[in-house]
Amino acid sequence: MDAAYDEIADWYEEVFLAAGDPLGTRGLLRELLGEGRGTCLEIGCGTGVHAAVVRDLGWTPAGVDLSAGMLRHARDRLPAVRGDATRLPFRDAGLPAVIAMMAHTDMPDYPAVLREAARVLRPGGAFVHVGVHPCFCGGFADRGDPEAVVIRPGYLDRHWTKESWTDKGVRAKVGASHWPVPELLNAFVAAGLTLERFAESGGPVPVVLAVRARKES
Ligand SMILES: C[S@@+](CC[C@H](N)C(=O)[O-])C[C@H]1O[C@@H](n2cnc3c(N)ncnc32)[C@H](O)[C@@H]1O
């Protein structure tokens, strides 16, 4: 399995996450996942930084990630297995909740990941996606001047790129995929997930788009 994050796992844990949560992803997770009981599987769990919030909401966190390097840091945070989100090592319809946190741009076949999330969810189970905002972040977005975020042509192209306005982020190191909003949301619908609630965070122009969807009963 090709795991781009193996090479940057220590940087991700010790430098990138050390900045805290400037984008407010944990607040979005709290808001959209809400309190509940039973296993909440994070696909692309990385170093497991969201396990504490999941646990605090009453859920039992579990994770799956492609990168052994990232999972090494997750060891003390949640039970997690190495695996590919496009072929989840979980049975059909067994889980009450699945989340994907800041991971969809790292998964070139995200529509297949959404189908897998729907497959492992129980009918009525919740899927929470918290991801890079497709409109205001990407190779086409220059966020170098917070007073004037510049969106260049490129939004409409479904693409993968390492181009970024900063060399301090993830995109410049491992690259990122992009889907325009209709393609991204239509992939939820095609997977049999009913869109239920939306939220944004980050500023001065949103950096994160969050979606809660539910597996059809
Ligand atoms: C930006 S990190 C996010 C990690 C964590 N969710 C967080 O918010 O800190 C993206 C993660 O997705 C994982 N990933 C990428 N493709 C994957 C796949 N096909 N299956 C499972 N994990 C994958 C990477 O290894 C990486 O740990």
In this structure, what token pair is assigned to residue 194? 């009913």
147 vs 144, 166, 200, CA distance in Å?
9, 16, 19
- What are the chain's domains? 4-215 (3.40.50.150)
* Length reported for the chain: 217
Q: pLDDT per residue over 50-107, tens digit each?
A: 999 999 999 999 999 999 999 999 999 999 999 999 999 999 999 999 999 999 999 9
Question: Does the structure show a pLDDT above 60 at 1?
Answer: no
The two tokens of residue 102 are 């800041």
Closest-CA residue, ligand 1 atom 4, reads 46
**Residue 2's pLDDT band (cuts 50, 70, 90):** low
Which pLDDT value is given to residue 35?
98
Q: How does residue 146 score in pLDDT terms, banded at 50, 70 and 90?
A: confident
Residue 110 Cβ contacting ligand 1 at under 6 Å: no
Q: What is the pLDDT of residues 152-188, one digit of tens each?
A: 999 998 788 899 999 989 999 999 999 999 999 999 9
Q: How far is the CA of 48 from the centre of ligand 1 (A)?
A: 10
Query: Residue 123: what residue type?
Result: P
pLDDT for res 159: 87
Between the CA of 114 and the centroid of ligand 1 the distance, in Å, is 14
Output the CA 66–ligand 1 centroid distance in Å: 7
pLDDT given for residue 193 in this prediction: 98
pLDDT above 90 coverage of the chain, percent = 92
Does the predicted model carry a pTM greater than 0.85?
A: yes
SS3 131: strand
Judged by phi (left if over 0) then psi (alpha if -120 to 50, else beta), residue 155 lies in alpha
Kindly provide the residue ranges of all beta strands, DSSP E only, lying in the chain, ordered along the sequence: 39-43, 60-65, 80-82, 95-101, 121-132, 141-142, 150-151, 159-161, 176-178, 193-201, 208-215
Residue whose pair of structure tokens reads 């996450």 in the numeric block: 17
Decide: 116 in ligand 1 pocket, CB within 6 A.
Answer: no
